[in-house]
Structure 1
Amino acid sequence: MNDRDEGTAAGTQTLADLQHWTWVLGKAQQMMLEHGIHTMGDFPPSDWEKMNVPGWGDPGDFVRASADFWSDTMKLWQRFLDPATPDTRGERPEHARDKRFRAPQWREEPLFDFIRQSYFLIADHMLKGVDALPGMDSRQKERIRFATKSFVDAMSPTNFAATNPQVIERIVETRGENLLKGLQNMLSDLSKGQLTQSATDAFRLGENIAATPGKVVHRTPLYELIQYAPTTETVAKTPLIIFPPWINRFYILDLSPEKSFIKWAVDQGISVFVVSWKSADASIAGIGWDGYVEKGQIDAIDTVRALLKVDSVNVIGYCVAGTALAATLAVLAARGEAAKVASATFFTAQVDFAQAGDLSLFVDDEQLAVIESLNTDGYLDGRFMAATFNLLRGRDLIWNYVTNNYLLGEDYAPFDLLYWNADVTNLPGQWHLDYLRDLYRDNMLVRPGAMKIAGERIDLTTIKTPAYVQAGREDHIAPAESVWKMTEHLSGPIRFVLAGSGHIAGVVNPPAARKYQYWTNPESTESLTAFMDGAKEHPGSWWPDWREWIAGFSGGEVKANGARMPGSGRRKTLGDAPGSYVRQR
């Protein structure tokens, strides 16, 4: 019998604990209520009326708005004090599958079961209260809801040693050494200004990550162009250029060999090139739309065309690089050079930012001023953007590691995706601000003629290039509804595919993994809802579907020799893949 069982059998200790925690929880609820009342007093009556929030103009409204909360609270207390009291509400499915509370102690031990249910009760009512706020536009309400949800996630009892049964047991088992190890982990993270999510010494660029064989065949102050060595005797005549997002390292598409989209595409008989963007420093501080379109994407397209002596290329744009790719296609169309691109594939990319998701909540004049103040020598430290993206999924990407690595003192597990996630890049400051203003705030890209890039007025409706548009059903960065809007602005033939999972896992899903699913619909539909109503679900990865589609733009087959073999043509190479820019910090 362990110590916990002995305490339960003794009876008196259990009663003392019950009395203590009853007082603590009751006091906590009292403090929350008192805080709410005092907060009301901080606003003059005129402000209450302007905000039109229940209870801030009429104390009676506060009482009525609290009735459901206190009713549910009393029912929970009754079940805790008398376990025979039936639970008429039942547990909500999202609560039952919440990974934070999967340890059996959260349900088997009455005290922690009470703490868990109390947390869910308070969290649900806080979010319900936001939804009920009148007199606010939808954007304002979404910002309040996001802040409330972030607060709710931060205040989870799993995040505190005194209310997490696993942490308490670990303290007993290790005699507190887990807290010392956790403190060491926390101090290390504070010193580098970034949360650690994976073992930092488990991966080596060019060896077990970003290891697909290739050569750097072109270098500019903005990017390196990597050409990968073919693995088949013949390859598609039309090569493929991949434009990854410049806010991350390119090797999200070249993780471990089993997950690498680049390796898979090479093995499919495609001549693959990828752009590796330079992490910003003072030398490229002034670069903007013109730079990333003209000196970045168009320069890479022309370089590959000249190197392989082909008329056109296929291109992929991932996330923000897909947004820029749409601008590039519009520039080429305006110049009468659209034929340089045979097909365009968009991975979770947006052009219409009217429904751009939670990230748009961070974009207003005040937030932009803060970002501008963070610019150092004309560029923005990549750790700022990393923290922002982590905050969008704080429960999984922040608090999960606070619990495991700070409280439990766990060792960091090796995970290539999280290693990549922490490998941040700096951003040109003015370019980042322009991107946020022009797109997230003002949504200019979809207004014909509103933007001038590389000397051309941008009109997405002039783009007739065949397009493959992939979205993620659970994408929190580029929501599927927002990605869908691309189909409403481009004029060429479009194949839209909705993949299971989110912004990363929905893209990096090799067929061998046999994970998730994707949906297609051959019919022309006017909305994502209509698309799903008639869609067919396919198990596994969408990559083979894309391979079948892009085969129609392959231009036939050629032997994989000469310039198709990096280092064998007349052009000198500049080193092995993954190149030097990916290593710069």
Structure 2
Amino acid sequence: MFNNKSMDEFFQQLTETNQKLLQSWVNLSQPGEPVADLAPMQQLMAGLTQSNPFLAQHSDFYQQQLDLWLGLIGAKEKAPVAVPEKGDRRFNAPEWEQPLFDYIKQNYLVTSRWLLQMVEQAHTDDAAREKMSFFTRQYVDAMSPANFAFTNPEVMKLALETKGESLQEGMKKLMADMQKGTITMTDESQFEVGKNLGISPGQVVFENELFQLLQYTPSTAKVYSRPLLIVPPCVNKYYIMDLQPDNSLVAYAVSQGFKTFLVSWKSVTPEMGHLKWDDYVENGVITACDVVRKIGKAEKINVLSFCIGGELVSTAMPVMQARGLDWIESVTLMTVMIDHTEPGDIKHFIDWNLIRKREALLNEGGVIGGKELSRTFSALRSNDLIWNYVVNNYLKGKTPAPFDLLYWNNDSANLALPMHTFFLRNMYLENNLIKPNSFSLCGVPIDLTTITTPTYIFAAREDHIVPWQSAYLSTRIFKGPLRYVLGASGHIAGAINPVKANKRNYWVNEDLSGDSEAWFHGAQSRPGSWWQDWSQWLIPFSGEEIAAPKTHGNAAFKPIEPAPGRYVKERLD
């Protein structure tokens, strides 16, 4: 056993080793052009060196490490020192209960919590500490023993059973994904847009450089006279709204008698790299509204928008209002963030250093790759959307199960650099959407507080892209009649929750006078899909029932091609 002197030497050596580990991590993580407020890892090291009684003392961390080691070698009774957090599925397999791998697992959990605890104790401001904590979590997730073949007993067992074939197959999948530039999350051979995805019948009735407009075929004998226009995000393909018949929001809207149109954004090519946010407003949202009005023979229309599509619609409305274009009867904001005071973890990827570099290139234009954006969103849930597939695909050599939502998730779209940079600066960094007249679009100062249109706001409780509390803040901006509904699950699974499945639940509360927590405390939970609540809300804004039209388009806007159209089928190389 250790004597006091050897114990001191042991802990001193362990402390020095940990400091070297952290310094190596900092050297790998710091940006190419360090700026004081943009180098969180450097701040972490500075904070730790100022507060290192924690490192130098014989802390609980070292005692836990010692207990683990003594339990492994049988010098004391083995007892659990650390257990995974609730919902952490990385160590569920029984192989992790074997003594050596149980030690590796618990050592990792103890060390991870120690690193996160050090961040919390660093001498820095709250914003820097939060950023450090996020990237520390990214680091410890990446370093999980589950992510390495020789420290993952499931991988080792499978490799022995298959005589190494699982590892060989995993290497093939790794090389294929490296060439493709993305991690394969589903069996992509099982899906094709237009064959089993995006198959609601309809026609493309208008197109320009920016989008195609789809008009869907009615499935009821009668429809409401006022059309519904769906504006999806331009970051991804539209067919998240029309996956397969049983989980298609488009099909549901059509089945409820809504005369449904949809914007299918084009993935930006290098020739389109000059496009600005103004272009998406003028030649996208406003143009689509105008065409839908003319085809639908209606003075006003209803609009449902999703994610960044909601910010496009919201910024188009003051422009339309200034021109006297009273075209929108109601608007639905589905997981849309207007107030970016607290945008969630995505803020850690956006800073002034990034914006300055991009703005220096604005005159030249350019394209922001959809794969880059997809990787950023995946990093927000790295264990579920990155490391889970690294282990399954590359270490175990397995093909992931077919899942339409994940196929869509990997089918990204490019954005124009000027448009996206404007979005990051004005929405995320400067939060200008809550500041009336702080910027202009299409020559019109933008003031969202002048919008009095009836608005339905949907948020998802576990959304990692649009936190539900931030979505609730939209109720403080729009001045018309408001309904706020909160669904279960995340950004996509919460929004795309078909009625037929009868899964999950949603919360409603008419009282919007308090903050988000007060709203939730007084909310009533209802079973099933929020789509039912939305369709009932929308009916009074949809006009009278009329005979369903038998043709698509009109004399001015003739059908161009069947839905889903060409634009959505274009895939990134």
TM-score greater than 0.5 by the shorter chain: yes
Counterpart secondary structure, 2:561? coil
Distance change (3 Å), C-alpha of 1:59 and 1:131 = closer
- Matched residues, number: 550
The answer on 1:342 being equivalent to 2:329 is yes
Per the alignment, residue 5 of structure 1 pairs with: none
Q: Which runs of 5+ in 1 are unaligned?
A: 1-25
Among 371, 375, 378, the alignment partner of 1:383 is: 371
Q: Which runs of 5+ in 2 are unaligned?
A: 1-10, 31-35
Per the alignment, residue 106 of structure 1 pairs with: 96
Equivalent AA in structure 2 for residue 359 of structure 1:
I
Among 536, 549, 552, the alignment partner of 2:524 is: 536
| Residues in 1 aligned to 2:379 and 2:396: alpha-carbon distance in whole angstroms | 22
Q: TM-score, with normalisation over the residues of structure 1?
A: 0.88
Distance change (3 Å), C-alpha of 1:324 and 1:111 = same
Identity %: 38
Counterpart secondary structure, 2:188? coil
Among 65, 75, 87, the alignment partner of 2:67 is: 75
| Residues in 1 aligned to 2:371 and 2:69: alpha-carbon distance in whole angstroms | 44
1:205-258: CA deviations, max 9, x gaps?
Answer: 111111100100000111000000000000111111010000000000111111
The answer to whether the 8 Å contact 2:226/2:296 transfers is no
Counterpart secondary structure, 1:226? strand
Q: How far is the alpha carbon of 1:120 from its aligned partner?
A: 1.1
1:293-314: CA deviations, max 9, x gaps?
Answer: 1111111111111112101111
Among 94, 101, 112, the alignment partner of 1:123 is: 112
My pick for the range that moved more, 326-335 or 242-251, is 326-335
My pick for the range that moved more, 572-581 or 363-372, is 363-372
Q: How far is the alpha carbon of 1:359 from its aligned partner?
A: 1.1
Distance change (3 Å), C-alpha of 1:252 and 1:27 = farther
Q: How far is the alpha carbon of 1:27 from its aligned partner?
A: 14
Distance change (3 Å), C-alpha of 1:69 and 1:518 = same
| Residues in 2 aligned to 1:460 and 1:124: alpha-carbon distance in whole angstroms | 43
Distance change (3 Å), C-alpha of 1:481 and 1:230 = same
Per the alignment, residue 150 of structure 1 pairs with: 138
Counterpart secondary structure, 2:275? coil
Counterpart secondary structure, 1:248? coil
Among 497, 503, 517, the alignment partner of 1:509 is: 497
The answer to whether the 8 Å contact 2:44/2:119 transfers is no
Q: How does 1:371-410 map to 2 (within 5 A)?
A: 378-410=366-398
Among 323, 340, 362, the alignment partner of 1:353 is: 340
Distance change (3 Å), C-alpha of 1:103 and 1:49 = closer
| Residues in 2 aligned to 1:246 and 1:181: alpha-carbon distance in whole angstroms | 35
Q: How far is the alpha carbon of 1:97 from its aligned partner?
A: 3.6
Q: How far is the alpha carbon of 1:199 from its aligned partner?
A: 1.7
Counterpart secondary structure, 2:212? strand
Equivalent AA in structure 2 for residue 367 of structure 1:
L
Q: How far is the alpha carbon of 1:84 from its aligned partner?
A: 7.3
Distance change (3 Å), C-alpha of 1:439 and 1:369 = same
Per the alignment, residue 49 of structure 2 pairs with: 56
User: CA RMSD, aligned part only?
Assistant: 2.8
Q: How far is the alpha carbon of 1:332 from its aligned partner?
A: 2.4
Per the alignment, residue 476 of structure 1 pairs with: 464
Equivalent AA in structure 2 for residue 170 of structure 1:
L
The answer to whether the 8 Å contact 1:461/1:490 transfers is yes
Q: How far is the alpha carbon of 1:85 from its aligned partner?
A: 3.8
| Residues in 1 aligned to 2:13 and 2:167: alpha-carbon distance in whole angstroms | 25
Counterpart secondary structure, 1:513? coil
Distance change (3 Å), C-alpha of 1:477 and 1:59 = closer
Per the alignment, residue 17 of structure 1 pairs with: none
Per the alignment, residue 95 of structure 1 pairs with: 85
| Residues in 2 aligned to 1:182 and 1:233: alpha-carbon distance in whole angstroms | 53
My pick for the range that moved more, 447-456 or 26-35, is 26-35
The answer on 1:194 being equivalent to 2:187 is no
| Residues in 2 aligned to 1:105 and 1:141: alpha-carbon distance in whole angstroms | 36
Q: How far is the alpha carbon of 1:510 from its aligned partner?
A: 0.4
Q: How does 1:253-272 map to 2 (within 5 A)?
A: 253-272=241-260
| Residues in 2 aligned to 1:204 and 1:374: alpha-carbon distance in whole angstroms | 36
| Residues in 1 aligned to 2:178 and 2:476: alpha-carbon distance in whole angstroms | 45
Per the alignment, residue 135 of structure 1 pairs with: 124
The answer to whether the 8 Å contact 2:218/2:254 transfers is yes
The answer to whether the 8 Å contact 2:475/2:512 transfers is no
1:119-155: CA deviations, max 9, x gaps?
Answer: 111111211221222222x322222111111111111
| Residues in 2 aligned to 1:489 and 1:83: alpha-carbon distance in whole angstroms | 64
Per the alignment, residue 18 of structure 1 pairs with: none
Distance change (3 Å), C-alpha of 1:457 and 1:567 = closer
1:52-93: CA deviations, max 9, x gaps?
Answer: 9554136545314x61211222333344445974758674xx
| Residues in 2 aligned to 1:38 and 1:146: alpha-carbon distance in whole angstroms | 18
Distance change (3 Å), C-alpha of 1:232 and 1:199 = same
Q: TM-score, with normalisation over the residues of structure 2?
A: 0.90
Equivalent AA in structure 2 for residue 62 of structure 1:
L
1:158-184: CA deviations, max 9, x gaps?
Answer: 111101111101111111111111111
My pick for the range that moved more, 213-222 or 362-371, is 362-371
Equivalent AA in structure 2 for residue 475 of structure 1:
D
| Residues in 2 aligned to 1:417 and 1:336: alpha-carbon distance in whole angstroms | 40
1:491-543: CA deviations, max 9, x gaps?
Answer: 01110011101110000110122222111111233211000110001122111
The answer on 1:247 being equivalent to 2:273 is no
The answer on 1:446 being equivalent to 2:439 is no
